Amino acid sequence: MSVASEYLQLQRESTEDMVRQHAPLVRRIAYHLMGRLPSSVDVDDLVQAGMIGLLEAARNYATDRSASFETYAGIRIRGAMLDELRKTDWTPRSVHRKLREVTEVVRQIENETGADATDAEVVRRLGISSQEYHQILADATSARLLSLTAPDDDEGGSALDVADQEGLEPQDRVEQEGMREALIESIGGLPEREQMVMSLYYEQELNLKEIGAVLGVTESRVCQIHGQALVRLRARMSGWRDGADNAVRGRKGARF
């Protein structure tokens, strides 16, 4: 066997070992995502997509990366699952529309008052009942459509997509870093309970029922708080998004 063949054989074995060792990570991420998806979504479809993401991560991972393989693989696995979900958008257009309306009202109120928009203010401005408002917040939690940085007419994306920066152009990496910094700042400005829910869900990977036990509230209340946080972040990130869009248009104009 030639040196090249031996190297390729070792590389294949290393890839297979990483996939085998981290296969449980795929199921853990899949079931965590299922906590905010409807029962019509098949967890096995997520697992299958996640395994493809894990395989790609194992093939592309380099040991000189600053992030551990588990961190890197987690990003690729979650991204593969979200891509699979985007192929079949089950969310009614009415849900997209209502979420955009709530987000815009939250943005308007917070710009006018300089303070966190309250449920009562949003409900009054929208002219809807508290029950309907809470249902919209629940939809914000279960729907994958609520991208923090996509344009308002974009019905794809997820609540907290994390881009893999490998392969991005230098300017795109700068923009991604700018988005991350803006997001961190926006999360830091959330009301305390909303910050807590975001931390427990996205960092500690607790499900809504577990978070409810920590906070001493019902699972449905956690769902509402989570939805409030997502809508508030979407509203606050709109300023960053508009600035980024203007910068892109400026660069394109400078080319001519």
b/e code 106-119 from CB counts within 10 Å (16+ = b): bbebbeeeeeebee
Q: Which range has the top average pLDDT, 60-74, 76-90, 209-223?
A: 209-223
pTM above 0.85, yes or no: no
pLDDT for the residue numbered 125? 95
Higher-pLDDT residue of 87, 84: 84
Residue 131 pLDDT:
92
Residues contacting residue 206 through CB under 8 Å, at least 6 positions apart: 200, 214
Given this model, what pLDDT does residue 163 score? Answer: 42
User: Which pLDDT belongs to residue 84?
Assistant: 82
Mean pLDDT of 215-229: 91
Rounded CA separation 222/209 (Å): 8
Give the lowest-confidence range in 7-16, 55-64, 243-252.
243-252
CB 137, CB 228: distance < 8 Å? yes
Give the Cα separation of 145 and 147 in Å (integer): 6
Highest mean pLDDT among 2-11, 78-87, 120-129, 202-211: 120-129
User: What amino acid occupies position 83?
Assistant: D
